[in-house]
Amino acid sequence: MEKIKIGIIGLGTVGTGTVAALRRNRELINKRLGASIEVKRIAVRDIRRPRQVDLPPGILTEAADEIVHDPEIAIVVELIGGIEPARSYILAALRAGKCVVTANKALLAECGQEIYQAAAEAGTEVAFEASVGGGIPIIKTLREALAANRILSLLGIVNGTCNYILTRMTEAGLSFNEALTEAQKAGFAEADPSLDVEGLDSAHKLAILATLAYDTCIPLQEIYVEGITAVEPLDIRFGRELGYVVKLLALSRETDGGIEVRVHPTLVPEGHMLASVREAHNAFYITGDTVGDILLYGQGAGAWPTGSAVCADIIDLARAIRRGKKTRLGPPSFRQPRRLLPMEEVVSRYYFRFSAVDRPGVLSKIAGVLGDHRISIASVIQKGRDEGGSVPIVMITHEAREADVRQALRVVNRLEVVTAATKFIRILEGQHFAPSP
Amino acid sequence: MEKIKIGIIGLGTVGTGTVAALRRNRELINKRLGASIEVKRIAVRDIRRPRQVDLPPGILTEAADEIVHDPEIAIVVELIGGIEPARSYILAALRAGKCVVTANKALLAECGQEIYQAAAEAGTEVAFEASVGGGIPIIKTLREALAANRILSLLGIVNGTCNYILTRMTEAGLSFNEALTEAQKAGFAEADPSLDVEGLDSAHKLAILATLAYDTCIPLQEIYVEGITAVEPLDIRFGRELGYVVKLLALSRETDGGIEVRVHPTLVPEGHMLASVREAHNAFYITGDTVGDILLYGQGAGAWPTGSAVCADIIDLARAIRRGKKTRLGPPSFRQPRRLLPMEEVVSRYYFRFSAVDRPGVLSKIAGVLGDHRISIASVIQKGRDEGGSVPIVMITHEAREADVRQALRVVNRLEVVTAATKFIRILEGQHFAPSP
């Protein structure tokens, strides 16, 4: 049986899952592939450290360069994460004529074009299923299964940490800090959770997906990013009363004005499939002009699920290599510039929670300001009184422009009767995402 | 730009969707593929019939053989359905060295091995994403994304007609016949719905999927099939009271005794993602030993979604053909015989609804029979009295063997106090499907 040799750089969580899966299901993979995958070398920082997977003696090296330049190795698997030295290893491997598999979302979000380009120039391929959504085949679905679709919208719950925290805030009434502490204890959040809870991890993933969905370069810094640290239990409760669940969505859609790319807490209608995605799960809800609505759901992180995706990429490339080819899809098409819609121009419905003194005329004053800014109100909840003598007033708006909303809230927040900065959350409307045919 | 010429046999619903999608998204597909797909000929039964898609003059032919033997055509797309003449066209096209795309589930379920074999011998490929699940990439996910996984279980809502009918029975309290009539009016059921409601369509799809999941030949006649015609609103209501939703599941899983393959109405726990799949949607819930649980969801039928899947297969093959290759995956591995678990040996929890006279001692009599057959009871509901003076007694069992259940119910149904044949529905237990790692 033909042997295809691979080298792995990095034996952390994902590397361990990958090696363990290749080993456990070796026979099955051989049968499906019609060839055998042999892990020839694994580069690690410290070869003496104990490992959670059985390894043949001598397979570890501290010199990643050996892998990158080994003429027997056909596929280099980069699993160290971060920009450097991952970027240099990948570029060197591609230039040495090797196929590359990577799970490195930060690198692809920041330097994707450079890497896709280098693969194209070398006549080889870079595969990156594991960079987004763990074992969920979102990259394959976008690049292959939906290749005949114009993607009208893509909605993702792409960060398991945030979804776990929001789930616990919703279901157990915890505060953000309580839920974060619990997530850290349960192993769903890092000691320094900022990359997750501030939304940057979600933005990395959205940059990768939107580039594929819209065949254009999506610079990371053009993505509007708002994390979940300011989400309050009170807003989750009001949201539920109104029939919504708060989720951190990574959202991209095509509008007449341009492509929207944004990450922010969102009120998702209870009946929407994304509202059922609980705890650390990830999900992608894609609307294509031909396929209609598709949902992919599963575990978005962890050694095994992510290892499953890395292995799938290795097998895909091995199938091409067996046929004497080093590419199967070619690079994503990203050269056609397209207008990205500035956040100010986004149109959405909004949830507002005003804090105001409990006095006649307050509601009309606030509504007046909104009206002056072309914002019309769909429904209002006003009840209770908090300890400071001020009351929460909750409103759901009809469609409004983000710029108008920001301007209106600046004015509202300066009103004498308003006692604290107004909270607002954007609302996902199902009907905007219906398929066109 | 390189041109890849294809021929299409059949211009019904799916053929029309395919041609319309290729035309509408022509530029997008060219850009993603790096080549252009040209529909050279389309074979139809009657070239004079009006068509719902604009066609260049002269493209239609009544001679499918012209397509099969046209040396310029690289990919033959079979969309006529049924066994013959579809089988002969596909075999001839493969032997003529062409790649084949088909949406023909009945043919693959009955003659899949012959067709996969013919493709392997010809050194070409047959692609069949559209045969199951409309535009949902279930075939690609099983064959590619989960290639490194042992599939522990696969649960599918694979028939939109049945799911629509069950949804309406559940949500509007309709009887089976009322819901069927409504489905027919809404275009979700055929005039002769028996292939759908009797479960055979689901069995066709399960045969295809289980062959891929378990790398073994799954003969259609080995699949246990029970449709939804006997599902009663009363059982749906009791199910809901107990926290379950009735779905027609196509189910395949690996157990110590062998592979289970079965299609039947199933009580799905309300919290399970499959319980949220409404109306004519399809969904697949797969548990892999490495990836854990994955759900794919979308529209399982219709011109556009199914056309999306056909186009994806065409693009996949065109990507290989551009690289000078006629295969990309090779045939599914199906040669290793594996034991299929006979239905009698299946272990499940069960829902029973007994109809019995309302008299002291009845419950203990029934429970006694169950006990004699190693069936233990987890919970009981008894209430009300129907017009004939008999009462429904509902029980949920712990795990029991199907053979014991059938034998016990034969005895129960002969009891003097029992007034009608006992209804039973198998229960899906989430915990049996948890990932192993």
Residue whose pair of structure tokens reads 């530029």 in the numeric block: B27
Helix, strand, or coil (residue B323): coil
CB A218 within 8 A of CB A190: no
Query: Could you tell me the CATH superfamily of domain B3-135+303-322?
Result: NAD(P)-binding Rossmann-like Domain (3.40.50.720)
Active site residue A205: yes
Please report residues of B whose CB lies closer than 8 A to that of A129: 145
- The tokens for A375 are 């914002």
Query: Which contiguous run of DSSP H or E holds residue B115?
Result: helix B105-122
Interface test with B, best of A125, A289, A290 (most B CBs within 10 A): A290
- The tokens for B200 are 């055979």
> Tell me: the pLDDT tens digits for A134-171?
999 999 999 999 999 999 999 999 999 999 999 999 99
**Higher-scoring residue by pLDDT: A1, A76:** A76
Order of strands, edge to edge, in the sheet holding B36-43?
B60-61, B36-43, B3-9, B75-78, B99-102, B126-127
Q: Find, among B378, B351, B395, the residue nearest to B231 by Cα.
A: B351
Q: Where along chain A do the CATH 3.30.360.10 domains lie? A: 140-299
Tell me whether residues B296 and A295 touch, CB distance under 8 A: yes
B9 known ligand binder: yes
B102 known ligand binder: no
CB B97 within 8 A of CB B73: no
CA A363 to chain centre: 38
Checking A381-390 for CB contacts under 8 A at 24+ apart, the result is A381/A238, A381/A241, A381/A242, A385/A358, A386/A355, A388/A419, A389/A357, A389/A358, A390/A355, A390/A356, A390/A357, A390/A358, A390/A419, A390/A420
Of A21, A325, A330, nearest to B290 by CB-CB distance is: A21
- As assigned by CATH, the class of the B343-433 domain is alpha beta
Please report residues of A whose CB lies closer than 8 A to that of B304: 290-292, 435, 437
ipTM computed for the complex: 0.95
Residue B28 neighbours by CB distance under 10 Å: 17
Of B32, B145, B308, nearest to A290 by CB-CB distance is: B308
Buried b (16+ CB within 10 A) or exposed e, A287-303: bbbbbbbbbbbbbbbbb
Rounded distance between C-alpha atoms, residue B135 and residue A287, angstroms:
11
Q: Identify the pLDDT of residue A336.
A: 84
Binding-site entries of A: 9-16, 105, 190
Tell me whether residues A147 and B276 touch, CB distance under 8 A: no
Rounded distance between C-alpha atoms, residue B145 and residue A129, angstroms:
9
Spell out the residues 6+ positions from residue B253 whose beta carbon is closer than 8 angstroms to its own.
B152, B153, B154, B259, B260, B432, B433
CB A94 within 8 A of CB A87: no
Q: What is the largest CA-CA distance in chain A?
A: 83
Q: Find, among B104, B264, B155, the residue nearest to B200 by Cα.
A: B264
Tell me whether residues B148 and A299 touch, CB distance under 8 A: no
Rounded distance between C-alpha atoms, residue B302 and residue B287, angstroms:
27
**pLDDT over 60 (residue A111):** yes
Tell me whether residues A311 and B136 touch, CB distance under 8 A: no
Interface test with B, best of A2, A13, A27, A32 (most B CBs within 10 A): A32
- The tokens for A289 are 């002009």
What does each C-alpha distance from A384 to A354, A366, A393, B255 come to in angstroms? Answer: 13, 18, 9, 56
Q: Where along chain B do the CATH 3.40.50.720 domains lie? A: 3-135+303-322
Determine the residue of chain A that is closest to B282 in CA distance: A294
Confidence of residue A434 (pLDDT cuts 50, 70, 90): very low
Amino acid residing at A406: R
Query: Which contiguous run of DSSP H or E holds residue B364?
Result: helix B362-372
Residue A320, Cβ density class (10 Å: 0-12 exposed, 13-18 middle, ≥19 buried): buried
Please report residues of B whose CB lies closer than 8 A to that of A324: 325
CA B353 to chain A, closest CA, distance in angstroms equals: 31
CA B420 to chain centre: 32
Q: Identify the pLDDT of residue B435.
A: 36
Please report residues of B whose CB lies closer than 8 A to that of A299: 291-293
Q: Are strands A377-382 and A390-397 parallel, antiparallel or unpaired?
A: antiparallel
Of B150, B298, B307, nearest to A293 by CB-CB distance is: B298
- From first to last of its 437 residues, chain B has per-residue pLDDT tens of 899 999 999 999 999 999 999 999 999 999 999 999 999 999 999 999 999 998 999 999 999 999 999 999 999 999 999 999 999 999 999 999 999 999 999 999 999 999 999 999 999 999 999 999 999 999 999 999 999 999 999 999 999 999 999 999 999 999 999 999 999 999 888 889 999 999 999 999 999 999 999 999 999 999 999 999 999 999 999 999 999 999 999 999 999 999 999 999 999 999 899 999 999 999 999 999 999 999 999 999 999 999 999 999 999 999 999 999 999 999 998 878 999 999 999 999 999 999 999 888 899 999 999 999 999 999 999 876 665 678 999 999 999 999 999 999 999 999 999 999 999 999 998 544 333 33
Order of strands, edge to edge, in the sheet holding A36-43?
A60-61, A36-43, A3-9, A75-78, A99-102, A126-127
Tell me whether residues B288 and A297 touch, CB distance under 8 A: no
The set of catalytic residues of B is 205
B105 known ligand binder: yes
Helix, strand, or coil (residue A160): helix
Of B144, B292, B435, nearest to A140 by CB-CB distance is: B144
Average pLDDT, chain A: 94
Amino acid residing at A5: K
Confidence of residue A184 (pLDDT cuts 50, 70, 90): very high
Of the residues A40, A98, A140, A205, only one is catalytic, namely A205
Q: Find, among A234, A240, A260, A236, the residue nearest to A248 by Cα.
A: A236
Determine the residue of chain A that is closest to B296 in CA distance: A296
> Tell me: the pLDDT tens digits for A35-64?
999 999 999 999 999 999 989 999 999 999
- What string of DSSP letters covers A390-412? EEEEEEEESSEEHHHHHHHHHHH
Outline where DSSP puts E strands in B235-330: 244-255, 258-269, 281-288, 292-299
Tell me whether residues A295 and B293 touch, CB distance under 8 A: no
Please report residues of A whose CB lies closer than 8 A to that of B336: 31
Q: Identify the pLDDT of residue A386.
A: 60
Spell out the residues 6+ positions from residue A57 whose beta carbon is closer than 8 angstroms to its own.
none
Q: Identify the pLDDT of residue A182.
A: 96
Residue B154 neighbours by CB distance under 10 Å: 28
Tell me whether residues B147 and A24 touch, CB distance under 8 A: no
pLDDT over 70 for what percent of chain A?
Answer: 97
CB A249 within 8 A of CB A225: no
Outline where DSSP puts E strands in A190-334: 224-225, 244-255, 258-269, 281-288, 292-299
CA B328 to chain centre: 25
Tell me whether residues B292 and A309 touch, CB distance under 8 A: no
CB B357 within 8 A of CB B412: no
B16 known ligand binder: yes
Interface test with B, best of A129, A270, A308 (most B CBs within 10 A): A308
Architecture of domain A140-299: 2-Layer Sandwich (3.30)
CA dihedral A412, A415, A420, A424 (to 10 degrees): -10
CB A282 within 8 A of CB A299: yes
Q: Where along chain A do the CATH 3.30.70.260 domains lie? A: 343-433
Q: Identify the pLDDT of residue B393.
A: 94
Helix, strand, or coil (residue A413): helix
Architecture of domain B138-299: 2-Layer Sandwich (3.30)
> Tell me: the pLDDT tens digits for A290-339?
999 999 999 999 999 999 999 999 999 999 999 999 999 999 988 789 99
Rounded distance between C-alpha atoms, residue A112 and residue A100, angstroms:
13
CB A141 within 8 A of CB A294: yes
